[in-house]
Structure 1
């Protein structure tokens, strides 16, 4: 009975495979068999800490990425699957851009500020304990989305910031055949700062191909008083135009909560926004004004469609409304009011190649979190 429980939660973990595990780090930049810990003292990034122990004792554990530089951190020229990415970077996470290229496609399938990709979009550490993304003290960024590829993979990090950064990383992957029916992992960043009146925030649009949508990460800055999460998350798929096939009942409902994430609706002793983090959904960041320089409430939320992927055959668009309440004459004494909050998002999905080239990312200044431009992880 215990084995049945374990296997039902861990899938095919007990099934043996002829795939070969490899790992890329600054100590083994090509992921070669027996290729680790070969850096020579004097050439590695930590040589000044290794004047006694010598080769094989942590000579090159990190890289430096200069301002304006794009560093290639992985280049794999055979079929396989990325299984785990771990990073801990210094610098401003909005100004570090992660890109991943699959097979022979000239443009990336993943293009996203590093913090947002790992569900930490506020340049302020928030612990995440989910099935696919873990963020742990003090800045351990982990991704467990499986990422198969048939020919090759290239992964880069661009430093848009003004200062040189230090990057520790490890990319673990399996080398082996990939079946024809798997999709390629994609992640797209977008922002509305603010959501304009009469408009909605677009999480994803322009997707063409066959695939399945598997996750959403959102940051939300409240620019007006009152509840901000009444908006519906809508999925337009396979030719939908004016009306979506999937239309949710509210933002907190989509992120698997209810009633404003406010415990006062069901508790005699608790009230206010309750941060939470779980396998498939969470609101790990509730950042409150400090009465000095932090003027707005800020939230970070994720929803992983792991047990319930949203499948499409031809095309997909995803939007969310910026919607709240004002006083009115309905049964609750309120009526809907459109808001103009700041919203950013990352959409995660799998699809066939070729995929559509993403729009250009916002500029460095437009990506910057105003008021936190001097905050750096180090």
Structure 2
């Protein structure tokens, strides 16, 4: 609390102003919120949400000058999911400092650690997804010369009932704003290639800090899938990384295949969990989407996250992050090919993306 109050004191002395983009105040203008009328009268919940037309892009936030986004909340009306995987079909993009190239480009669900087009509860320091799909992000997103956040609807129908609020700080002196810009990049390989490490990101050039990642794996083969090591190739590393983990579930804070007990006599129960910096919130073995006529069997789907707030990964020239696709059958380690997707989150002293092509809607469709 002391640190929070000290930050507040500094912000007040600097002259920061609190602002918010919503459906009722799309320009975040002072004193301009809640003006729309409803059957209850003026200023009584007249425009709480928007419709995003099929194939259309809507600007959710556009700020001039300097500032910092502190919180994004949004949700989508449930019935929209009955005609497809809306959480994969909506694409959020963020642009900083007048750039025409997005620094963040991610399917809406995956940005909030809800992969495979499915909902899951998340309770972490950076992302909180509450019942029922109230999606919150607390990534700090500074900018010195304008910011723009858009959402594109690649769904086959209009998305009605998209609710959102983007809270930010207007900062009078651009020189006091951090030079680091928020980046997020989505990738998918379906399936991965045998003995070829999956790259969460491999084209980062410059100086910055890696914040974390969200990973989904749909297991396409039997037996244990998570022996692959997460590797961080930092500042010129070539064949071997500076940082290398011991296994996939280990990197995401778990151990021993996320099992509740270790026993050869009983079937081990796999437990999900959600904590401030690490979590495994998704474990799905049956199709629970509105697409299923019956709850038919499916390849097990897994989703996990890690935030490097207490253990930051700094880079000064370049960064590449990869994951091995290695499993285990009995005592033997084996190369695997699974359906893998990810979001990498980082900050660096430049804007724009890495140049990696963003997957099309067909390429993102959940298995």
- TM value normalised by structure 2: 0.90
**Do the aligned partners of residues 292 and 22 (structure 1) sit closer, same or farther apart at CA in structure 2, a change above 3 Å counting?**
closer
Q: Give the alignment partner of residue 301 of structure 2, picking from 280, 298, 301.
A: 298
Deviations 1:254-289 (A, max 9, x none): 011111111212899993211000000100111123
Please say if 1:120 is aligned against 2:114.
yes
* Matched pairs, number: 348
Counterpart of 1:148 in structure 2 is: 142
**Do the aligned partners of residues 11 and 338 (structure 1) sit closer, same or farther apart at CA in structure 2, a change above 3 Å counting?**
farther
Asked if the contact 2:102/2:353 (under 8 Å) is kept, the reply is no
Counterpart of 2:164 in structure 1 is: 169
Deviations 1:190-210 (A, max 9, x none): 011111112121100111111
Counterpart of 2:131 in structure 1 is: 137
Q: Give the alignment partner of residue 325 of structure 1, picking from 324, 328, 333.
A: 328
More deviation, 180-189/116-125: 180-189
- Aligned to 1:348, what secondary structure does the other structure show? strand
Please say if 1:85 is aligned against 2:82.
no
Asked if the contact 1:107/1:357 (under 8 Å) is kept, the reply is no
Asked if the contact 2:127/2:136 (under 8 Å) is kept, the reply is yes
The offset of 1:111, in angstroms, is 0.1
1:4-19 matches, within 5 Å, as: 6-7=1-2, 10=4, 12=6, 15-16=9-10, 17=12, 18-19=15-16
Q: Give the alignment partner of residue 309 of structure 1, picking from 308, 312, 317.
A: 312
Unaligned 5+ runs, structure 1: 1-5, 42-49, 328-333, 371-378
Asked if the contact 2:142/2:178 (under 8 Å) is kept, the reply is no
The CA distance in 1 between the partners of 2:184 and 2:99, in whole Å, is: 15
The CA distance in 1 between the partners of 2:8 and 2:237, in whole Å, is: 42
- Aligned to 1:15, what secondary structure does the other structure show? helix
More deviation, 232-241/286-295: 286-295
- Aligned to 2:240, what secondary structure does the other structure show? coil
Deviations 1:78-98 (A, max 9, x none): 101100000002441100000
**Do the aligned partners of residues 354 and 133 (structure 1) sit closer, same or farther apart at CA in structure 2, a change above 3 Å counting?**
closer
**Do the aligned partners of residues 295 and 173 (structure 1) sit closer, same or farther apart at CA in structure 2, a change above 3 Å counting?**
same
Please say if 1:241 is aligned against 2:238.
yes
Deviations 1:96-155 (A, max 9, x none): 000000002220000000000000012222110101100001110100011110110000
**Do the aligned partners of residues 85 and 180 (structure 1) sit closer, same or farther apart at CA in structure 2, a change above 3 Å counting?**
closer
**Do the aligned partners of residues 266 and 305 (structure 1) sit closer, same or farther apart at CA in structure 2, a change above 3 Å counting?**
farther
Asked if the contact 1:188/1:358 (under 8 Å) is kept, the reply is no
- Aligned to 2:152, what secondary structure does the other structure show? strand
The CA distance in 2 between the partners of 1:55 and 1:15, in whole Å, is: 36
1:142-291 matches, within 5 Å, as: 142-166=136-160, 167-176=162-171, 177-178=173-174, 179=176, 181-265=178-262, 271-289=268-286
More strand by share: 2
Asked if the contact 2:226/2:257 (under 8 Å) is kept, the reply is yes
CA RMSD of superposed structures (Å):
2.0
Asked if the contact 2:24/2:47 (under 8 Å) is kept, the reply is yes
Unaligned 5+ runs, structure 2: 81-85, 288-293
The CA distance in 1 between the partners of 2:305 and 2:43, in whole Å, is: 40
